[in-house]
Amino acid sequence: MLDFGNINIYVFDSAEEIGVKAAMLLSETIKENHKSNVCFATGGSPVGMYKELIKLYNEKAVDFSGIRAFNLDEYYPIQKSNSQSYDYFMKDNLFNHINIDFNNQFIPNGETKDVDKECKDYDKLIEENGGIDFQILGIGTNGHIGFNEPSKSFKANTHLVELAESTINANSRFFDSMEEVPKYGITMGIKSIMMSKRIILIAYGENKAEAIYKAFFEDVTPEMPASILQFHRNVTVLLDKGAAKLVEEKFKARNK
């Protein structure tokens, strides 16, 4: 582990090992508090973690029946039945395979006609439930967390966002054509993320190395949204060697 004060960085040989560690951290939290509020992410980064959580559940090593599940974001507009919706993703990759109560799965509604109300209601729901205990994050190559894209200011609350071109390009790998990739999303804001008790951020691949380096070793700026995590008191970053490339160089230089 590379220890940078409030930020612990673990470097693994493979994405599978990251998944095992991340699943272990969440299952420990759930064992300590059966009623944990967990905020999940979608995309490639947490898939290994979710596979491992399903394995642990099948081995009866973790019980999800008491947790409340929130999600960081959802495309807008999108039907839940669309196989690219984050609602569908969560069911397909995790929720349908574990014993989480269907009534305790909360994802911003990409079908809503009233986005403003949806955003306000989502923040209220998180707040009324006491905030997030365990927050799972990936990171965009542009440094976004959730769909909090690089911008002139940090947005505190859940909001509608126009996706950055780099995000649309990155997400196009899941769609048949560029036209089908949604251009907007609803995302939890920086406030709920920063108020969560514990954060784990997962990244693998050399294409994430620069974002990781800038997020944790350069200035805190809304142009690199993940950099705000430097101000959080309990962040664990799980990387493979590719994503850790620049961080490891920094660590070696520091300890010379």
**Catalytic residue numbers?**
73, 142, 144, 149
The 10 Å Cβ neighbour count of residue 194 is 17
Binding mask 142-181 for ligand F6R (x = CB under 6 A): --xxx-----------------------------------
By CB under 6 A, the count of residues binding ligand F6R is 13
- Distances 247 to 9, 78, 163, 215 between C-alpha atoms, Å: 9, 37, 27, 10
Dig out the tokens for 121 from the structure: 């209601």
* From 5-13, 19-27, 138-146, 155-163, span contacting ligand F6R (CB under 6 A): 138-146
* From 37-45, 91-99, 151-159, 218-226, span contacting ligand F6R (CB under 6 A): 37-45
Cβ closest to ligand F6R, residue 57 vs residue 204: 204
Sheet with 159-162, side-by-side order of all strands:
73-76, 184-187, 159-162
- Name every residue whose Cβ is closer than 8 Å to that of residue 5 and which is 6 or more positions away in sequence: none
214 is a contact residue toward ligand F6R (CB under 6 A):
no
Rounded least distance, CB 142 to ligand F6R, Å: 9
Residue 146 and residue 164: Cα distance in Å, rounded? Answer: 12
The tokens 């365990």 sit on which residue? 134
Residues in touch with ligand F6R (CB under 6 A) = 41-45, 72-73, 138-140, 144-146
